[in-house]
Amino acid sequence: MGEGRNLPSELGVVRIADEVVSIISGLAATEVDGVASMSGGIAGGIAEALGRKNLSKGVKVEVGEEEAAVDLYLIVRYGSRIPDVAWAVQENVKKAIENMTGLNVVRVNVHVQGVSFPQQKTEEEGIK
């Protein structure tokens, strides 16, 4: 795993940190219809409990000089067709990273960690 990407220019170097690629990936993934949330595991839960908003939750990136590889861990909404959601996530994340950073995305692995069920109202909640 790299520490970021350096882009040489006439005026100096532009550095893109791995965390930036992670945030772009997480936001692009959650834009896809059918994605309920990212799955951050235990570490993500601890960060949320401490009150820190973790925009790269459920994302692991490997960034080289010109290429990037991404692993996404997500929760899919119940009723969504999982392969369609996964393909849409792969396309959206690849496009977002390439457009914003200029990196060539070599792979986007999608790991479906669970299914989110709609919350059902009980009869007691419905009567006020």
| DSSP state for residue 75 in the 8-state scheme | E
Model confidence band, residue 44 (pLDDT cutoffs 50, 70, 90):
very low
Q: Which CATH superfamily is domain 17-117 in?
A: Cation efflux protein, cytoplasmic domain (3.30.70.1350)
Q: Report d(CA 43, CA 23) in Å as an integer.
A: 16
Domain layout of the chain by residue ranges: 17-117
Ordered alpha helix ranges (H), the chain: 18-30, 41-49, 82-101, 123-126
- pLDDT tens, residue by residue, 88-128: 999 999 999 999 999 999 999 999 999 999 875 555 555 55
pTM passes above 0.85: no
pLDDT tens per residue, range 59-77: 999 998 889 999 999 999 9
